[in-house]
């Protein structure tokens, strides 16, 4: 019998622990990169930024980074469920974030905040149900389904709003939430961390989270174990929809305005955060806490580019490049596992 040495424990929830407790293997860069790389790379990036990027290491800038990271982070945390379930991604978060933001401001302007929240929750549940049924019950391709629901949702929103910008009242609760602080921390950031921890617990501790991971690892084996797989997929898309709704709230509250174009790029930036964090697009492996790290990485990277005066075009290219790199590392690591 071979001796099993355990890698030094890094404190993460059970899924990640399981990954670490696998016996020590010969070092393989792609596998190390896919599983542990994010810790080192994020640390290096932050150190680099502190040393070489003017204006990075200031309290207003750091606060700004987290304020911007909060909505995308909440969206990505929810979408992590879809990725782990082996359904690639939920593109429709773009439509969902904008819809939630517009509903929050426009509807509460007329009917008050509670009604706005109820309407937004109903819309989120509808998105979860429609995406989930098409993908999980009808077995349609997730990329095409969510691309289509993006069109339906954004189209509907543009049609109803005519592309108008909605402003909240200056003395309203929404504005108060958007500017609130808990000590030195923006409330949005605290909410981001709380949501991440909560979703992390759902994924690692509940039977629902367990079934999402199992389904992502092997659909047929999970079905044959007596799991209602349709419900699992609907659940995963509903988590994604609720994350997108909260993300939309935070984004709208931040500026106290909402418009149908407010969420451009949220699909791929969330995906970048999830994959860079080390959650596998092949399903079955990953965690919400990893997504948190991925969000930090993507946000810091974006901030460095902004501070260095690089425009949106360059930022967009960088996100694209990052995704290609991360999925390639993911695929290489998987190949290592398969052989």
Partner 1 sequence: MSESLELTPDEPGTVRTRTPIIEAHGIVKRFGGVIAVDDVSIAVESGEIHGLVGENGAGKSTLMRVLAGVLAPNEGAVRVDGEPLDPGNTRAALEAGVSLVHQELSLVPEMTVAENILLGSTPTRFGFVDTKEQRRIAVDALKEIGVSVDLDEPIARLSVAMRQFVEIARAIAREPQVLILDEPTATLTPAETEYLLDMLKRLAGRGLAIIYISHRIPEIFTICDRVTVLRDGRHVTTVEIGETTPGAVVQHMVGRELELELQEHREDPKIGEVVLSARGIRAPGVNAVDLEVRAGEIVGLGGLVGAGRTELVRAMIGADFRTGGEATITLGGTTRRVTSYRSAITAGVAYIPEERRTDGLALTMAVVDNITLPNRTALSRRSVLNRRRVKEFARSLADAVNLRPPEIQREVGQYSGGNQQKVVLAKWLGREPDVIILDEPTRGVDVGAKAEIHRLIYELADNGAAVLVVSSDLPELLDLADTIHVVRDGRVVGTLSGRDADETSVMALASGQVEADGS
Q: Residue numbers of the site for partner 1 (CB under 8 A)?
A: 1-2, 4, 14, 18, 21-26, 28, 205-208, 210-211, 213-214, 217-218, 220-228, 284-285, 337, 339
How far is 43 from 24, CA to CA, in rounded Å? 24
CB 78 within 8 A of CB 199: yes
DSSP string of 90-135, one letter each residue: -TTHHHHHHHHHHIIIIIHHHH-HHHHHHHHHHHHHHHHHHHHIII
| Nearest to partner 1 of 18, 43 (CB atom) | 18
| Nearest to partner 1 of 117, 227 (CB atom) | 227
Minimum separation from the CB atom of position 28 to partner 1 (A): 8
How far is 154 from 232, CA to CA, in rounded Å? 26
Minimum separation from the CB atom of position 56 to partner 1 (A): 38
| Nearest to partner 1 of 150, 222 (CB atom) | 222
| Nearest to partner 1 of 3, 171 (CB atom) | 3
DSSP string of 276-339, one letter each residue: HTT--TTSS---HHHHHHHHHHHHHHHHHHHHTT--HHHHHHHHHHHHHHHHHHHHHHHHHHH-
Minimum separation from the CB atom of position 31 to partner 1 (A): 9
Q: Is 211 helix (H, G, I), strand (E, B) or coil?
A: helix
Minimum separation from the CB atom of position 81 to partner 1 (A): 15
Minimum separation from the CB atom of position 205 to partner 1 (A): 5
| Nearest to partner 1 of 68, 213 (CB atom) | 213
């Amino acid at each position: 019998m071979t001796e099993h040495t355990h890698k030094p424990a890094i404190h993460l929830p059970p899924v990640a622990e399981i990954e670490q407790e696998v016996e020590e293997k010969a070092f393989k860069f792609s596998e190390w990169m896919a599983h542990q790389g994010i810790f080192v790379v994020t640390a290096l990036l932050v150190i680099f930024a502190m040393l070489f990027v003017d204006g990075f290491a200031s309290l207003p800038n750091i606060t700004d980074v987290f304020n911007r990271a909060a909505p995308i982070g909440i969206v990505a945390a929810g979408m992590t469920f879809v990725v782990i379930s082996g359904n690639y991604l939920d593109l429709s978060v773009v439509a969902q974030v904008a819809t939630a933001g517009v509903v929050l401001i426009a509807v509460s302007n007329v009917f008050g905040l509670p009604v706005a929240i109820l309407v937004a929750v109903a819309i989120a549940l509808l998105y979860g149900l429609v995406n989930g049924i098409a993908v999980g019950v009808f077995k349609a391709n997730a990329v095409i389904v969510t691309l289509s629901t993006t069109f339906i949702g954004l189209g509907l929103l543009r049609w109803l709003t005519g592309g108008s910008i909605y402003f909240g009242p200056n003395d309203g609760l929404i504005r108060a939430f958007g500017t609130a602080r808990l000590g030195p921390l923006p409330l949005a950031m605290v909410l981001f961390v709380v949501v991440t921890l909560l979703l992390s617990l759902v994924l690692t501790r509940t039977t629902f989270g367990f079934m999402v991971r199992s389904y992502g690892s092997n659909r047929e084996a999970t079905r044959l174990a007596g799991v209602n797989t349709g419900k699992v997929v609907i659940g995963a898309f509903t988590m994604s929809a609720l994350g997108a709704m909260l993300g939309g709230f935070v984004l709208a509250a931040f500026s106290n305005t909402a418009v149908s174009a407010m969420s451009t790029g949220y699909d791929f930036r969330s995906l970048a955060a999830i994959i860079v964090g080390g959650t596998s697009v092949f399903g079955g492996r990953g965690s919400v806490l990893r997504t948190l790290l991925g969000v930090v990485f993507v946000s810091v990277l974006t901030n460095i580019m902004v501070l260095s005066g690089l425009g949106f075009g360059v930022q967009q290219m960088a996100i694209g490049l990052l995704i290609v790199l991360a999925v390639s590392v993911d695929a290489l690591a998987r190949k290592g596992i398969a052989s």
